Amino acid sequence: MCAIYKALGCTTLLIDDHPTPLSVSSEHFAADGVILFHNPASDDEYRSLQIIKMRGVPHPISRQAFRFGEKGIEVLGRR
């Protein structure tokens, strides 16, 4: 099925909820990219994301703050 979406030029997101975010699943090995989303512990913190794996693309390994804007996800960088 992934090959069909890729041939159509689509981006496919598989969303999973792990109790321990650093656990590795078999889906991680098959995926081209793995992004962890972190919710803030308090209202003064930003939501953040961390790119664990992005095949063929250089990326930062540190957490990056983000927000949902009018055009989608806006990455704000390290905070």
Using one digit for the tens of pLDDT, what is the confidence trace for 48-62?
988 888 888 898 889
High-pLDDT (> 70) share of the chain, %: 84
Q: Is the pLDDT assigned to residue 79 strictly greater than 80?
A: no
CB atoms within 10 A of CB 48: 19
Note the pLDDT tens digit of each residue in 25-49: 666 777 788 888 888 877 777 889 8
Q: Among 1-10, 19-28, 42-51, whose mean pLDDT is lowest?
A: 19-28
- Per-residue confidence (pLDDT) for residue 57, from 0 to 100: 87
State the Cα angle at 26 between 22 and 30, rounded to 5°. Answer: 110
pTM: 0.67
